[in-house]
Structure 1
Amino acid sequence: MPGFGWISFTTDYGLADGFVGACHGVIARLAPHVRVIDVTHQVPAGDVRHGALVLAQTLPYLPAAVHVAVVDPGVGTARRPVALVTPGGVLVGPDNGLLPWAGDALGGVTTAVVLTNPRWFADSVSHTFHGRDIFAPVAAELATATALAGVGPVAGGATVPVTEVAAVLSEAGAPVDPAELVRLPEPVVRDGEGWLEAEVLGVDHFGNVQLAAPGARLAALPQRLRVGEHPAVRGETFGDVPEGELVVLVDSAGQVAVAAHRGRAAELLSVTAGALLRIDSHR
């Protein structure tokens, strides 16, 4: 039937405490028909940029859903709680830069709402746990309200009827111009003949270094490369170089990345997210 059958959940809460379980419980009580996809709860604490990257690169592969994301070092301050309607789902979370990259990846934000209606919140709202008391209840209420109204994606569908969903969501708060949402600074990407310099977007579990440059930029570089002071090869797979050596390739998200075959490129290069990395021809 119409309505949202899925809620995705992304946070920096970790798994050592009961924060994730409490939010799951709120959703289960308010919208027992909805299934929850846990994207990750291991975003580094307070790292809004990392959370934004995870959302932008993961949510397009999920069914159309209400996507709850909480990486919120400003919880309880003047930062706004918002919900954003896109063709690929509704994003619910803090207005601190966490959501817009994902909004772009899901087809663009068509409607933004500042969440102000206490009837959509928990009966008592903690100053330090808006995930449990605002964002999870809003997601569950939206899933229920769209089902009752007969609007939303068909089960398993990939697109959202944005106008109808926005009309339901309007009961949760006041509209705001999507252009006024807080956005993170765009990462640095520069290139020239035979070279590329780009900001490190992130380092994954395997130590692969993802750059802000889109994969198409790699085609202009020669086969034999230097990454910083280290020799490397432009390739397509991790196995295109001997064990321990560097390969520059297009990763699964379509970005330029540097990897070490059976090693950790980030440690070899001594880089972390936000660093600038230069790739040029090896002489």
Structure 2
Amino acid sequence: MDPAWISFTTDYGLDDGFVAACHGMIARLAPSARVIDVTHLVPPGDVTRGAHVLAQTVPSLPRGVHLAVVDPGVGTARRPIAIEAVDGGFLVGPDNGLLIPAAEALGGIRHAVHLTNTAWFAPQVSRTFHGRDVFAPVAARLASGAGLPAAGSEAAALVRLAPPHLLALPDGVSAEVLTVDRFGNLQLACVDGGLLDHRLLEINGRPAVVGGTFGDAAPGGLVVFTDSAGHLAVAVNGGSAADVLQVRAGDHVTVTHPS
């Protein structure tokens, strides 16, 4: 592992100083570390969205420490954890399901620790800002080469997100919308599975073409394709599939062959 890389994912937004405070803590403890900001625009408290963004991004990042904080349970009994992935990298954040998909994308979990060594934290820990006072210091220490076992005690039975809805239908599938990106494209909780062998499909009863990119549909038309993460996706050429279909993340859509 190159210990100089830390990726950083949160729902902190960009209007306040929260991200900068975490960067500052990292800079104090690991001044040679390089930080890649994945996003700080995860919808507030949306652990599922944060988990999907992180999991789909980490395979493209250098091996290092992946710091992620989407933590509506901050200050409660939820555990702070760090995970060593099979690829040799680390993930640091709350034990609320946020880190598990990313760890699986990096080959699986080799070791997990409940962060109980307060010597690794900031001198004073705010109950509402563990990103700065717990997770950022731990990430910095791991990036500097400190060994994970010293961070705390073994963590068993990590919290996992519920699996997304996916149901086979006689003529297609019913699938959960995993994410909606800023363009309104829908990423579904399924892969092709032969659906794209058909030239035409229906999404919630609306006609759609099968293609490889947005421009394969007529302007304003729906297109179904495999996205860059390997998931089945739905878009509108020049528009928003989320608006056209009136759906959002967590909703279910049907992808079926025309009758």
What range describes the TM-score normalised by the shorter chain of this pair? over 0.9
Measure the CA separation in 1 of the matches of 2:93 and 2:203. Answer: 37
Cα deviation, residue 217, structure 1:
4.7
> In structure 1, how many angstroms separate the alpha carbons of the residues matched to 2:145 and 2:207?
57
The alignment status of 1:251 with 2:227, answered yes or no, reads yes
TM-score by length of 1: 0.89
CA deviations 1:225-273 (Å, max 9, x no partner) are 1111311111111111110000111011100001000110110000001
Identity %: 58
Q: Distance in 1 between matches of 2:75 and 2:60?
A: 32
Could you say if the C-alpha distance between residues 235 and 3 of structure 1 is closer, same or farther in structure 2, counting changes exceeding 3 Å?
A: closer
2:203–2:255 contact (8 Å) kept in structure 1: yes
Partner of 1:61: 60
- One-letter amino acid matched to 2:131: G
Aligned amino acid, residue 116 of structure 1: T
Q: Is the 8 A contact 2:201 2:257 kept in 1?
A: yes
Computed over aligned residues only, the root mean square deviation of the Cα atoms, in angstroms, reads: 1.2
Gaps of 5+ in 1: 147-167
Equivalent pairs counted in the alignment come to 258
Following superposition, the deviation at residue 215 of structure 1 comes to: 3.2
Determine if the alignment matches structure 1 residue 187 to structure 2 residue 164. Answer: yes
Aligned to 1:235: 211
4+ runs of 1 displaced by more than 4 Å?
A: none
Question: Partner amino acid for 2:241?
Answer: A
Equivalent residues of 1:194, 1:222 under 8 A apart: no
Unmatched tracts of structure 2, length 5 or more: none
Q: Please name the residue that 1:81 is paired with.
A: 80
Distance 1:258 1:145 in 2: 43
Q: Map residues 253-272 of structure 1 onto 2, 5 A cutoff.
A: 253-272=229-248
Confirm or deny: 8 A CA contact 2:188 2:233 kept in the other structure: yes
Q: Tell me by how many angstroms 1:197 deviates.
A: 1.1
- Give the aligned partner of residue 114 of structure 2: 114
CA distance in 2, matches of 1:95, 1:184: 10
Cα 1:51–1:96, aligned 2, differ >3 Å: closer, same or farther?
same
After TM superposition, list the pairs within 5 Å mapping 1:1-283 onto structure 2.
4-88=3-87, 89-146=89-146, 168-177=147-156, 180-219=157-196, 222-283=198-259
In the aligned structure 1, how far is the partner of 2:76 from the partner of 2:183? 36
Which has the larger share of helix?
A: 1
Residue 33 of structure 1: how far off its partner (Å):
0.8
2-structure distance, mates of 1:192, 1:268: 23
